[in-house]
Structure 1
Amino acid sequence: MKILKKGLLEAEISKALTQWEKEYLGRGSVQVKTDILRNMVIVALKGILTPAEQALTKTTAGLLSIKKTRSDLIETGSDQVKEIIHALTGINVYSFHTDISTRSGERLIIFMLEENLENKLTE
């Protein structure tokens, strides 16, 4: 049974994660794009680094420090973001993966769902 339009759900996920970032991290991304593919929700966030963090990435030690700190921050809030995805999709998240590019200031988050969400959506 088809439940929602894919594009609308992708937009709702982007909006919800941006709001979570603002509340949890103190600021949101400049741009967020969500794509649903089979049992994956892929979120690309751009403009996530503060000007101070951007300055720190000019050295290897600073770059590694920013990657570790940002990774730790997301991990501590992972239960909250998994719950956001569950609330919007109705499907449990069984795995969560993320990485940040300190060069481009982008983060990718991939939520692996217990079911194929894309099959339940309409175009």
Structure 2
Amino acid sequence: MATKTRGQYEAEFTKAIIKFEKDYLGRGPLEARTFFLNDMIIVRLRGILTPAEMKLAESHEGRTLVKEARRQLFETSRPLLEDLVRDIVGCGVISLHTDVSTKTGERIIILTVDTNLDERFG
């Protein structure tokens, strides 16, 4: 049986993140891409804000509210993300970092893992 390529693992992780966003946060991104780099999984999601969040983000207070609400929702989901990493990539999560741009509607997720993915996937 042929083993999966790095790109296939990245694509599988991207699909899982899209499903997670839809199931857990209620809406999936318009675009998504995952990159494995050293001991990091980097995910870029575009088009994640709802029309209501975009309207709120027109003011400073609204931007703060949107970012904080999204941050708290995401932090409560950490166990689910750790399961995704373990099930798909086969390693553990050391740390999780994320930020949302209320200007572009983009979210960046960086997961630091306990394995060098460049060595694992070549």
TM range (shorter): over 0.9
What's the CA shift string for 1:20-51, capped at 9, x where partnerless?
A: 11111111111110000011000000000000
Structure 1 segments, 4+ long, off by >6 Å, are: none
Task: Give percent identity, aligned residues only.
Answer: 40
Tell me the alpha carbon deviations over residues 34-78 of structure 1, each in whole angstroms, 9 at most, x when there is no partner: 000011000000000000100110000000000000000100111
* Structure 2 gap ranges (5+): none
Partner of 2:102: 102
Q: How does 1:34-113 map to 2 (within 5 A)?
A: 34-113=34-113
Return 5+ residue gaps in structure 1 as ranges: none
3-state SS of 1:4 partner: coil
Aligned residues: 120
Cα displacement (A) at 1:4? 3.3
The residue number in structure 2 matching 1:15 is 15
**Structure with more contact order per residue of length (Cα contacts < 8 Å, sep ≥ 6):** 1
Q: TM-score, normalised by structure 1?
A: 0.94
- Partner Cα distance (1:95, 1:43) in 2: 14
TM-score of the aligned structures, taking structure 2 as reference length: 0.95
